[in-house]
Amino acid sequence: MALRQATQALSNLLPPSITITTNGDEQILHAAVRDEKVCSYQAEIVSNLTKEGAARELSQRSGQDRAGVVFVADHITSGAQKLLRNAGQSYMDSGGNCYLACVGHSQFVVFVQGQSTKSRSHRCQHRAFNEAGLKLIFALLNHDELVNTTYRTMADTADISRGAVGYVLSDLEELGYLIKIDTRTRKLRRLDELMDRWAVAYGERLRPKMTRGRFQFLNEAVVRDWKAIDLDSSLGRWGGEAAADALTHDLQPELLSIYTEEPTTKLLRGLRMVPDPEGPVEILDQFWTPLTSVDDTVDDTNTRTVPPLLVYADLLTLDDSRATHIANRIFTDHLMADG
């Protein structure tokens, strides 16, 4: 579907002398000039491609492996498009935006940008990525066994309604992230892509609702030695840059993020903080229920952090090159290995 849509959108933008056709069954794309074929591409279908996802695709494949391959997606972000072009990697999206370079044919390059895609509005229509859906997907990604439990168990774990579980699972199946193996067995698939998509949607739609505000320590020197702060799981867990530093030991936090279920007043008393809109600490609602103590990620200094997927999502919201670099490390070391 994505390949046909992208091909049709691009064909509508090209002059009659250039034709792009596809054999949908084999996912092969053919480019011709004045009816003479000049190049063929093997299509690799993804539903969404962010800059971080594109960087990971490029790093996992050698230039030889990518020769003759075109990434086809519902939506490819502008940052991802630029990154792919700079690497000489062909791509297309559902709006007709593309970069098609023919290997060994320096005179054939098709480049289109600035076309709007329907994917962003389409993604919003999929309720799997609304507030309830994001909570359930997070639970499913962190607990492999949960996808084969009852609707009641999934609803209780994610703290959403049973009705929401039904439409979220239906949407995930429609989007290709969930398959039914038999009447009792479901399985998540395309996990890397699903995690990327969850992380972006979390930053756009759920995280702003979880944020309570910014705060400052009464003793401002405390922030420089934040790992010495006694933050046990009864108060909260470190997220964002603090959690990233705990996981990688390679990021000096500028903002300390704490996820908690406790009232803000209790946290402020326990950590001796006061409200400050420019303060170095942010407090957010802990929107998930850990099933066991294993849910806590603890590093060698006994620093308790949120699950790595949430750390990854937090870092992507910063739009900072150093944070993006660490985010990709966390994805590779803590998420891909688990997926």
pLDDT, one tens digit per residue, over 244-293 is 999 999 999 999 999 999 999 999 999 999 999 999 999 999 999 876 54
What are the sequence ranges of the domains in the chain? 2-118, 126-189, 209-336
Q: Please state whether the predicted TM-score (pTM) of the whole model is above 0.75.
A: no
Mean pLDDT on 171-195:
90
CB-count burial class (<10 Å; 0-12, 13-18, 19+) for 57: buried
Task: Report, in this order, helix, strand and coil percent for the chain, each rounded to 5.
Answer: 45, 25, 30
Which residues, 6 or more positions from 163, have their beta carbon under 8 angstroms from its beta carbon?
none
Query: Which of 69-78, 91-100, 285-294 bottoms out in mean pLDDT, i.e. has the lowest?
Result: 285-294
Instruction: Name residue 104's amino acid.
Output: G
Q: Name the burial class of residue 6, with classes exposed (0-12), middle (13-18) and buried (19+) by CB atoms within 10 angstroms of its CB.
A: buried
- What are the backbone angles phi and psi of residue 249, rounded to the nearest 5°? 55, 35
Query: Where does 126-189 sit in CATH, by number?
Result: 1.10.10.10
Q: List the structure tokens of 76.
A: 């490819």
Q: Is the pLDDT confidence value at 52 over 90?
A: no
- The Cα-based distances of 248 to 40, 161, 204, 244 in angstroms read 42, 37, 25, 6
Q: Looking at residue 239, what is its pLDDT?
A: 96
Decide if pLDDT at 337 tops 50: no
What's the pLDDT at 292?
Answer: 52
Which of 12-21, 196-205, 286-295 is predicted most confidently? 196-205
Q: Is the pLDDT of residue 114 over 60?
A: yes
Is residue 51's pLDDT more than 90? no
Least confident of 19-23, 165-169, 273-277, 330-334: 19-23
Tally of CB atoms within 10 A around 18: 17
Mean pLDDT of the region 54-81: 80
